[in-house]
Amino acid sequence: MTRTAFSVVVVVLLFIGLSGSVSAGRDLVGDILRLPSEASRFFGRGHGADVADDIDDDSSGTKWAVLIAGSNGYWNYRHQADICHAYQLLKKGGLKDENIIVFMYDDIALNEENPRPGVIINKPDGDDVYEGVPKDYTGEDVTVDNFFAVILGNKTALTGGSGKVVDSGPNDHIFIYYSDHGGPGVLGMPTSPYLYADDLIEVLKKKHASGTYKRLVFYLEACESGSIFEGLLPEGLNIYATTASNAEESSWGTYCPGEDPSPPEEYETCLGDLYSVAWMEDSDKHNLRTETLRDQYRLVKTRTANENSAYGSHVMQYGDIGLSTDSLVWYLGTNPENENSTFVDENSLRPPTKAINQRDADLVHFWDKFRKAPEGSPRKIEAQKQFVEAMSHRMHIDNSVKLIGKLLFGIEKGPEVLNTVRPVGQPLVEDWDCLKTLVRTFETHCGSISQYGMKHMRSFANICNAGIKKDQMAEVSAQACVSIPSGPWSSLHKGFSA
């Protein structure tokens, strides 16, 4: 047989063998002939082939992103700054505006307190991150229902806003990033009600059941943010989540007055959140084709948990941890300017010398505003009033919850019941409807828990776990709170959180 004839026979045999593979097992190669460049997906790459596709194949399917800042008020500047920064990062990464959906109250850029009208920065020497950000859902349209409708792609359930939803398909990748205050089992919103963990998990399960994504990544910045997923987010949904803190601790603001580095002198508020700044500043400088979710998780965890200081939180991961081998490019895209960046497995970004507990950032703002205002000026008087109102609200909420615990369980046992932490891996509460009912009952008699009072959600959950019913809660709440305090933190103005 000649060499040419032999070659023809080999080609024919290979073609016949390939055709047999196609007809015998469509799941292996599909219904089309694969090119040599796609051979790696024919033969697999061991464990990585089960978890991740070819590292360069970020073009199949569409990248979607949902960004949400769950607060309002200038003292919460950092949350909207985080979200705006995330938008700029995704935009440089190649995502289109039609696939990026932004929730933010939008009361920061043009706020009278903002020293640079129309500009928002996320670090002391940072560029404007506000320019070009889509105004999809702003003001009173930043609601839990709209957030859920957007994730599920349900346009008919929307109320107001741009109408954009995650209209995703089975090959698409979805990135969700939330930044705000939180508490055990709950995330804040600028409107009422707040976002409860069980409702979020149900929405994610529905999204998975609809078959409208390939993989979903959720980055969550909030106090006790681990409680949103711990014991609740099952494996097998193709969802990978990381949180700024575990289920028992606060997260932290950064670039705050008095820190090193501190914001420019004219700013009287924190510019960012520690976990959020950590993952975004890492993404800003690296080639995200070669950096994985796991790589970023490790760097962010190191920067956020400062073992040598009194501050810091433990960054956690939940869900399908195996997805952490995915390259970040599938979710965030990558800035072409970083193509030649070489990933270094160490944290080159310096952590700040200190950080501010998320729940104290408002007090820092009011105090810095008071400190800088001219003596006797209306601005100084206003800052003093804001500080006193915030402190009075905190004392009212703290004392009311403590008294309710004692009325229900006794002087000695009350604090023990309220502060009990369930074992790792268990959800916060068994009956989420009970939790919401007791929170609503408390607020009916004592006023809104607000962003600060979310720290007591574990106490309400423990009261539920102890078998206390609505009528009992109403009776002790009425005894603990003779009247609902007035003021900006009152439920008379803000509505109920549940």
Helix (H) or strand (E) holding 403: helix 378-409
Rounded (10°) angle between helices 274-285 and 77-92? 20
Query: Per the structure block, which two tokens stand in for 374?
Result: 């001219």
337 vs 328: CA distance, rounded Å? 16
In whole angstroms, what is the distance from residue 418 CA to residue 458 CA? 7
**Catalytic-role residue among 79, 85, 181, 445:** 181
List 84, 223, 446, 464, catalytic entry: 223
Alpha carbons 324 and 331: distance in angstroms, whole number: 12
Q: How far out from the chain centre does Cα 270 lie?
A: 18
Please count the CA atoms within 13 angstroms of the CA of 298 that sit on its side-chain side: 12
C-alpha 343/C-alpha 283 separation (Å) is: 11
Yes or no: say if 403 and 446 are a contact pair by the CB < 8 Å rule: no
Residue 41 CB neighbour total at 10 angstroms:
16
- The b-or-e profile of 1-24 (16+ CB within 10 A means b, else e) is eeeeeeeeeeeeeeeeeeeeebee
Residue 285 burial (CB count, 10 A): 13
Whether 393 is catalytic: no
Residue 425: C-alpha distances to residues 230, 312, 331, 353 (Å) = 6, 22, 27, 33
Catalytic residue status for 365: no
* Alpha-carbon gap, residue 341 to 376, rounded angstroms: 54
β partners of residue 239: 216
The answer to whether 317 and 240 have CB atoms below 8 angstroms apart is yes
Which residues are annotated as catalytic? 181, 223
